[in-house]
Copies of this chain bind each other. A is one copy, B any other.
Amino acid sequence: MKLSSVKNVSKKIGLPPGSLVHIGNHISETTSVSLLKYSADSIEELSISSPKECSDHITDGYITWINVTGLSDVNTIGDIGKNLGMHPLILEDILNTSHRAKIDDSDEYISIIIKVLNYNEKDSIIEREQVSIILGDGFVATFQEKKSDIFNGLISRLQHPSSRLRNMKSDYLVYAIIDTIVDNYFALIEHIGDKVESIENMLFESADSSILNEIHNLKREMIFLKKSLWPLREILSSLQRSDSSLIHSSTSMYFRDVYEHIIQILDTIESLRDVLSGMTELFISISGNRMNEIMKVLTIISTIFIPLTFIAGVYGMNFRHMPELESTWFYPWFLYSLMLAIVFGMLAFFKNKKWL
């Protein structure tokens, strides 16, 4: 993730508001536009020669889904925007992929900016992609940073004439898109939950401080995940309660369902953060305890030998008059008895004190 949310925005400093500049990482992705026009009876994929044709395909009785992938061609995006009658600030937000998730509810359309989050197994990072959704009268426009297969399931569901998607208005398509994205969050959270659990199992086995680093990284991911998803509460709550004519009361219950999923995800993130905080604390004290145990044993070994060495030193002194030295039996008695007595005495003392 790498704190990317605060990056690249400075590129825009000094430009007038509404300036179309693409701020993002997938800058090389070429822009392509695809149209899907459907009603309860028919569905067809359309190709357009110019971005200015978009609005020609929006007809009464049909829903047109305009899907734009790749944000590098600022002019094309600008043309589509003008063609669909969008406010320059909305276009600016679509291109600025470091933007916070948001909703704008104007009279003619509702624009939603939302993040798709994917766990990249290879690099162990969470990839973030921005999807902008414009809900207008009879059409839905989506803008993705790059081609992805996230909406494939949706498109194949659209092929079934009996599917609810085909029989509802454009607001239901927006719901289905958001629901797909939110289901992705569940997969991500589940993945993170697995990682937390596997780290938890390692806590009591290993003292490797790389665990600490992994916990730290997960914690940071949680911080930024929460920051990314928090605005969705507001977005879905305002979709659900919207009095815009674009949102029909029959769809509003579906938005409420997604709203509750978001609450559940945010709760889980919060809980995982709490668990991770507890784990840091636990790791530190377990590894502290383990180290203390080692030092204690080492120190006990030294402590046992130091008095013995002293006694050996005493009888290594060169005094002329040390009667003990003359005695034949003093040496073995001394060595085998006194010293062993000291050793076992100390061990018994330590045992008694519960230091061993």
Contacts and interface: CB of A to CB of B under 8 A. Distances in A.
A213 B209 contact: no
A87 B253 contact: yes
Interface string A208-247: 0100110010011001100100100000000000000000
A175 B186 CA distance: 33
Interface in A261-290: 263-264, 267-268, 270-272, 274-275, 278-290
Given A6-B186, A100-B267, A163 B16 contact: yes
A176 B319 contact: no
A115 to B, nearest CB: 13
A12 interface: yes
A52 interface: no
Nearest to A196: B3
Nearest to A292: B291
Q: Of A284, A285, A307, A317, which is in contact with the most chain B CB atoms at under 10 Å from its CB? A: A317
Q: Interface extent on A, as a size class?
A: 35 or more
A227 B266 CA distance: 10
Interface of A: 2-3, 5-10, 12-18, 87, 89, 93, 99-100, 102, 153, 157, 163-165, 175-176, 179-180, 183-184, 186-187, 189-190, 193, 196-197, 204, 207, 209, 212-213, 216, 219-220, 223-224, 227, 230, 253-254, 257, 260, 263-264, 267-268, 270-272, 274-275, 278-292, 294-296, 298-303, 305-310, 312-322, 324-328, 330-331, 334-335, 353, 355
Minimum-distance CB pairs A-B, first 6: A312-B313, A14-B153, A315-B317, A319-B331, A6-B193, A316-B316
